[in-house]
Each structure stands twice: as C-alpha cells, then as structure tokens.
Amino acid sequence: MDRQNGFEGNKMASGRLITFEGPEGAGKSTQAALLISKLEARGIEVVYTREPGGTKLGEAIRGILQYNAAGEDPCPESEVLLFEASRAQLVRHVIQPALERGAWVLCDRFADSTTAYQGFGRGFSVELMETINRFAIGAAVPDMTILLDVNVSLGMQRCAKRQIGKKVQHDRIESEALEFHEKVRQGYLDLARRFPERFRKVDAMRLAEPIAEDVWKLVSDAFLAQG
Ligand code: T5A
C-alpha cells in the first residue's frame, strides 16, 4: 500500500479523480459546482457524481441508507456494506469509464467518508474500513482529496438553513448526535495528517468564494500548471 495515499498504488487511467470530503454542511456540492465551471471553461470534460448514489443501484441504496426506504434501519454492519456496494457500482459503471477516456471525475464523497463516518464515527476498525474501501474502489485511486473542514455547529446550521420550507427533513445519518459528528470531523483531520500526499485541507468556515479560490489554486497548481 502507498502509505502517503492510503490506497494501493495501481492508478490506471489518464483522467483525474478529485474527491470532496468533509462533515455535514461543509459545502462540498457548492464547491464542486464552482470547480466544474472553471474546469469546463478550460475545455475539460468533467463528470460530477456523488456518494452514495450516482448509478441506478447506488441511488436505490441511497434511499435505503438515508431515508429507510427498505422499511427498517440497516444495522451498522449492513450500513458499511451498502455504502461499499454503492461505491463499487459507481466505480465500475461511471468513474472507471470516465477516467479511461480522459475525463476528470469530481466525486462528492468517496471512500474516505466510510473511514470517517463508519470507522471514526461508528467505531468500526479504521483498518477494516480501509481494507473494504480498497476492495470497492479497485484502481480508482483519488488523485486529490479536498477536505472541506467545518466545525460541527456551523455545518449543522447550514444544513438546518437549507431545510427550511422543505418537506424532507434531516436524513438518518445527519440526525446523529453532535458527538458522532465531532468524531467524524476529527477522523477526517486524522486522515488528512496521515495521507498528506493526497489530502488538501481547506478552511470551509468562510464565504464560498474565497474557499473556491483556494480550491482552484490547489487543483490548477497540481494538474494544470504546465498547460
Ligand atoms: N455517508 C456517506 C457515510 O456515512 N458513509 C459513506 O461512506 C458515505 C459516502 C450523505 C450522508 O451519508 C453519509 C454522510 C452523509 O451523512 P448527502 O445528502 O449526500 O448525505 O449529504 P452530504 O454529502 O452530507 O452533503 P451535505 O448535505 O452535508 O452538504 P454539502 O454538499 O457539504 O454542502 P452544500 O454545498 O450542499 O451546502 C450546504 C448548505 O450550506 C450552504 C449551501 O448554500 C447550502 O444551503 N453553503 C454555505 N453557506 C455559507 N458559507 C459557505 N461557504 C457555504 N457553502 C455552502
């Protein structure tokens, strides 16, 4: 295993895989959208996707994981395996083909979410989560993981604000206790320290625009500097 990266060092394709991670309300979707417009303006094909979801199977799993679509709560072990099933499908059906044709894939959450939420948050062995992640992602190793770091109370405030006037309220995992979300945040910070080659931590407790400027600098310096 590549100790700097956290995954096997068997990268396979000409495209780029950039993953956005962070606690609830970190602004992952907002920042992904801003980055997409900058990349597309440069003529780069971008595929945006999310976890759980991104395929028919993955979206069905998302309904089960977030809103109990199967009619009962998944037990913690099932929860891990459902996230991984969604991930395996997304990699084989969307991410891998896109990378092979040279597209850039921006993924809103990826394998590190399982390590942070189910490992650090739920208390499963981090090593076990990393092993299952490697099975699910195969060669789809992120080139860069942007960790949008936000404190739990600010992230939750943003989520609550977004919910105002909507029928669907907080989903199953979002509704976990604040202590759970604090463990998730600390887990992400731990991962960023362990894998500095791949992780880029960005202070997400600011307005969206300066965050987007930092994200753009990180991405363009890493991948576009020569062109
Ligand atoms: N999960 C997922 C696991 O437990 N294990 C796993 O392996 C995986 C893959 C997914 C849930 O599943 C869990 C984690 C999650 O609990 P989801 O619905 O996909 O849930 O939602 P999240 O990925 O958690 O995304 P969030 O709902 O937290 O939002 P984002 O994408 O981080 O934030 P965004 O951009 O939607 O912004 C949230 C709100 O804040 C505003 C936005 O306008 C929006 O209203 N906002 C800002 N406001 C002020 N300043 C800024 N800088 C702002 N940026 C955004």
Atom of ligand 1 nearest to the CA of 26: 32
Residue 227 CA to ligand 1 centre (angstroms): 32
Atom of ligand 1 nearest to the CA of 50: 19
* Crossing angle (nearest 10°) for helices 28-41 and 208-223: 50
Question: Terminus-to-terminus CA distance in the chain, angstroms?
Answer: 31
Residue 226 CA to ligand 1 centre (angstroms): 33
The strand order across the sheet containing 16-21 reads 46-50, 104-108, 16-21, 144-149, 199-203
Probe ligand 1: pick from 36, 108, 113, 191, max atoms within 8 Å of CB? 113
CA neighbor of 218 nearest in space, from 148, 150, 149, 144: 144
Distance CA 194, CA 47 (A): 28
In this prediction, residue 10 carries a pLDDT of 45
| DSSP codes joined into one string, 3-16 | TTTSS-S----SSE
Residue 115 CA to ligand 1 centre (angstroms): 17
Least confident range from 11-15, 90-94, 188-192: namely 11-15
In this prediction, residue 163 carries a pLDDT of 79
Beta strand segments in 79-215, E? 104-108, 144-149, 199-203
Distance CA 119, CA 178 (A): 16
In this prediction, residue 113 carries a pLDDT of 98
CA neighbor of 25 nearest in space, from 167, 166, 181, 172: 181
Which CA distances in Å does 219 have to 16, 61, 76, 158?
A: 10, 31, 35, 25
- 109-159 pLDDT, tens per residue? 999 999 999 999 999 999 999 999 999 999 999 999 999 999 999 999 999
In this prediction, residue 95 carries a pLDDT of 98
Question: What is the pTM (predicted TM-score) of this model?
Answer: 0.94
**Among protein residues, the one whose CA lies closest to atom 11 of ligand 1:** 173
